[in-house]
A and B are shown apart, each in its own frame.
Chain A
């Protein structure tokens, strides 16, 4: 029967494009590292590489959350603002409350890093939950909701900070951003552990299956008995969690929190996820890809800095890369359709 013939032909055909598309980010990363290593010897020093990883870990944490969101064909533009707001709240808690938040110097004990971390995460989760509810209950597209959120949380951050940064924390707080375990910076460990957990959730848990299903075909997911609204709402909560965690780590690393923190992060983070092979159309992508994508962006920016390329040009490059990555994704999608 023709049916049988067609099937075997498909399975026998080695899908070179598929393999290339899957490993493209990794190949691109290695190529980029070789280029930088040749052009700029300082790039390959272990100090620089750990430095790159330390920088990557903040946007990387956000990119992990963003992967969940984009897998459902959503988007979150509010993360930079939410991160700033959560960071300020955490900083104020670390300082011991609203009255004492601007007190700098010795003798300020505050409420401890544990409460600070919890506060940052709580702010992130609540922010994500609000946006998830607006998307699923009010039926407003994610782009619009989170564009609004971007403005709301930035405004809240500016209001909360009342003009100045909050800085000077206890060493046990700043350890989470500046410390090391052996030679490895703590933020890098947090990033990698979070990536591992997210990978397990998406790859091995029922929840992950639901995320892929809702992103792949929401109508089919609904008709398969999934609670589509619940799943969509949940990914924004997860995004919020990672925005809060990122805020805590960033404040610890900088020993300071300010209202303009995280400006423009949304673009870097979305670029990381998309370059890592997650489709903006939903239903396709991996955490592994996102980790590679985040490192790729980090290496690129670091290399450009080492080569004294102006930060304005870096912005241009990021913008171009995100468009090219999406163009590639569209092309890959049309190939999947044809298959």
Chain B
């Protein structure tokens, strides 16, 4: 089949954010009635490209042609008018409104003052029937399953006369049976001439349903073609193909000691309290004194959830945590700290820092025991000495300890968070995305710091979405996918390709 006139053609799209080139001349071509996989590691530029396509961000350079006409998408309404609709991973439905209201939100049929409920319900029913959602249009979205909510999103997209539907990780929250049903709908949409851009980390799904693919890496195109002419291994090679940065040096082999922390059968079911958190199923792992254990996995693999469960930040349903071989009862971060466990959370601004407060108080807040007087007062001189000690050790660049921590660069902010935990002299330190959003120089410093901690006998668990980083810092690597541990490998035996395979193939996929 010769390629028909593309429905959507993006050419030379570039977009920079302060300090980061997110996209650097990316092309994307999608034909009508095509299911197109957009692939890449975390941070490859997929989200930015999708945001540009949705009109949420404007490209610095590049052109977008739709139906052969050059178009400018300066806001989401422009994109919608053309029939480009995005279904995000986190749904944008109002849970306490009905299906019909959600489908027609902002576009309710009726006159200027009143909406026509009967018409709205009838139209909704037509749309939901079309995709096989057997629910009354008057059902509250709150009462629907995740899969059904997704169908409401699709119905909404259809109601806007969509010609391109972008689905961002549509299967991440679905069961196998639900995925099958979604695929039937997607194929039906395709048969109606609608183009689908399908973003997923599950490569088996790409092979099953997509016609063509585009792979991004570090904001550039690295490959595109027909799915029928490639293999999963071929796509993985394209996704990780970059050279491991020479700056990311390994450390000499560690002399790892006794097991400091062990987790056995950690299980956490989905809770209404936090429906987007990944369920954990029978997660077991251990880390020795002086060892750095890397946890690799894609978004939604359950790495952060595991770390938070160990640290007592989130509850878990079953399983146990042992420290120095003794089972411990950790129900809150307070308990974890008492047992010598620390966590550098993934989002330092939301979860770690008091941005408008001084570096000094940010650094000492968890270690006030070390600098108090009579148990109740803070000894400010000891505190300043403490800050000075860690400023030197971590090379934190700051004007004064009284400066607001929010004024520091990302790298220095992260060092303050690391210093907070080092000041506690932990036995086990879990670092979640320790170098997210910091520049390359600071990254290397953070890596060296992790080595230094391990050398001092701290058991370190390092979670990172960047495979080169996992490979550089870890002595041993555990991979996770969908809340399960899928493999374990020593650093010496690990390659990016191997890890990517362990991270993307489900146990079922490998067994088959």
Contacts and interface: CB of A to CB of B under 8 A. Distances in A.
Contacts of A204: 377-378, 380
B386 interface: no
B411 A10 contact: no
A207 B376 CA distance: 7
Contact of B397 (A4, A222, A227, A336): A4
A134 interface: no
A222 B365 contact: no
B378 A209 contact: yes
Contacts, number: 107
A283 B354 contact: yes
Contacts of B406: 336-337, 339
Interface stretch (B47-55, B79-87, B355-363): B355-363
Contact of B334 (A10, A225, A333): A225
Contacts of A166: none
A138 to B, nearest CB: 16
Given A2-B439, A3-B397, A222 B333 contact: yes
A204 to B, nearest CB: 6
Contacts of A213: 354, 357, 361, 365
Contacts of B350: 217, 219-220
Given A216-B355, A222-B313, A223-B333, A11 B400 contact: yes
B409 A225 contact: no
Interface size class of A (residues with CB under 8 A): 20 to 34
A216 B357 contact: yes
Interface string B341-382: 001010000111111110001001110100010011110100
Interface string A311-326: 0000000000000000
Given A220-B352, A225-B366, A227-B334, A7 B409 contact: yes
Contact of B357 (A7, A205, A206, A283): A283
B407 A10 contact: yes
A23 to B, nearest CB: 17
A6 interface: yes
Interface string A201-218: 000111111001100110
Contacts of A208: 378
A7 B397 contact: yes
A267 interface: no
Nearest to B420: A224
A225 B442 contact: no
A7 B333 contact: no
A284 interface: yes
A208 B409 CA distance: 27
B486 to A, nearest CB: 28
A222 to B, nearest CB: 6
B348 to A, nearest CB: 9
Given A206-B368, A207-B376, A223 B343 contact: yes
Given A206-B372, A223-B345, A227-B334, A7 B399 contact: yes
B489 interface: no
Contacts of B408: 7
Interface in A1-46: 1-4, 6-8, 10-11
A280 to B, nearest CB: 13
Contacts of A225: 333-334, 336-337, 366
A108 interface: no
A1 B311 CA distance: 36
B4 interface: no
A126 interface: no
A213 to B, nearest CB: 5
B307 to A, nearest CB: 11
Nearest to B438: A3
Contacts of A3: 397, 409, 411-412, 439, 441-442
Contacts of A339: 404, 406-407
Interface in A58-74: none
Nearest to A206: B368
B356 A216 contact: yes
A226 interface: yes
A212 B354 contact: yes
B185 interface: no
Nearest to A336: B356
Nearest to A284: B356
Contacts of A209: 361, 364-365, 368, 378
A217 B355 contact: yes
A221 B368 CA distance: 13
Nearest to B372: A206
Contact of B354 (A4, A6, A10, A216): A216
Interface of B: 311, 313, 332-334, 336-337, 343, 345, 350-357, 361, 364-366, 368, 372, 375-378, 380, 397-400, 403-404, 406-409, 411-412, 420, 439, 441-442
16 contacts: A4-B397, A7-B399, A205-B377, A206-B375, A206-B377, A209-B368, A213-B365, A220-B351, A220-B353, A220-B354, A223-B352, A224-B333, A224-B352, A225-B336, A225-B337, A333-B356
Given A3-B397, A4-B397, A224-B366, 16 more contacts: A3-B442, A7-B409, A7-B412, A204-B380, A205-B377, A208-B378, A213-B361, A216-B354, A217-B353, A224-B333, A224-B365, A225-B334, A283-B354, A336-B355, A336-B356, A337-B355
